Amino acid sequence: MFKAALSRGGGYGSFEDWQELDSRAKRSLLGDDPDRDTGVRTRSTDKTAAEAWDALSNELALGPRPNFGSPPFGSEWSGKLTLEQYVQLREFARSGESRWLGDSDSRFNSTLGLMDSQIGTYVRWSAIMGLPLADFMAADRPEIADVYFVGLVHAGEGGLQADTNDSSLLIEGSVVSQGGIKIENAPAVDFVYNRLYLDDVLREFRSDHIELDQVYFKIN
């Protein structure tokens, strides 16, 4: 959905330096006036609400498709969704909270924040992969993990265990486990051995031993 919307209106050029933009510039590009049809949020995703719901159903455990012709939906949900509507629908599908379908200031600002975060994630991962944003987004489906960790992980005899609560997981760097590796409730799991990252880490400690700190963290 983001791919269709971002590629309109001149392509991806205005998003390449997204991480360097201040909040005012980002909000201006997103469309920060709820009373005017401007910005990325108003661009079409080329999908109807029903098509978007079916696509989300492939990733989330959703119930039956709602009737988009009756409350809490209105007539504005009958055509192709804008990017703003898609984000609203996605959050409604995830939470079941109809407030995502309203027109309050808090809902509007929350939706802009989610769009900002999603675009930032695409830009960040295109940089990690060394690709222009346009090339990264040209993939059939740019793969972005919901939960990701970058670093060195050494799991002792207890092994590595994670319950991601229906979120995809990516660990980039290196993972060593003396026990097993058990990932639960994750629709997708990726381990990326990043040689460039490891070379940088090991080069810094070339003449010394690397100390491993014992830490505990929960992924959910």
Can you name the residues that pair with 170 across neighbouring β-strands?
A: 148, 190
pTM assigned to the model: 0.66
15: nearest Cα among 61, 75, 83, 78: 83
Enter the tokens of residue 2. Answer: 């983001």
Per-residue pLDDT of the chain (220 residues; tens, 9 = 90+): 888 899 887 788 889 899 889 888 999 999 989 888 899 999 999 999 999 999 888 877 788 899 998 888 988 899 999 999 999 999 898 888 888 998 888 889 889 988 888 888 888 878 877 788 888 888 755 556 677 676 777 787 888 888 877 777 877 777 778 888 888 888 777 776 655 556 655 655 555 555 555 545 455 4
What tens digit of pLDDT does each residue of 124-150 get?
Answer: 878 877 788 888 888 755 556 677 676
Give me the half-sphere count of Cα atoms (radius 13 Å) on the Cβ side of residue 157: 0
Q: Is 141 helix (H, G, I), strand (E, B) or coil?
A: coil
What's the rounded Cα separation, in Å, for the pair 25 and 35?
Answer: 18
* Residue 194 near residue 173, CB atoms below 8 Å: yes
Residues whose CB falls within 8 Å of the CB of residue 171, separated by 6 or more in sequence, listed in order:
148, 149, 150, 153, 190, 191, 192
Q: Is the peptide bond before 71 cis (omega within 30 degrees of 0)?
A: no
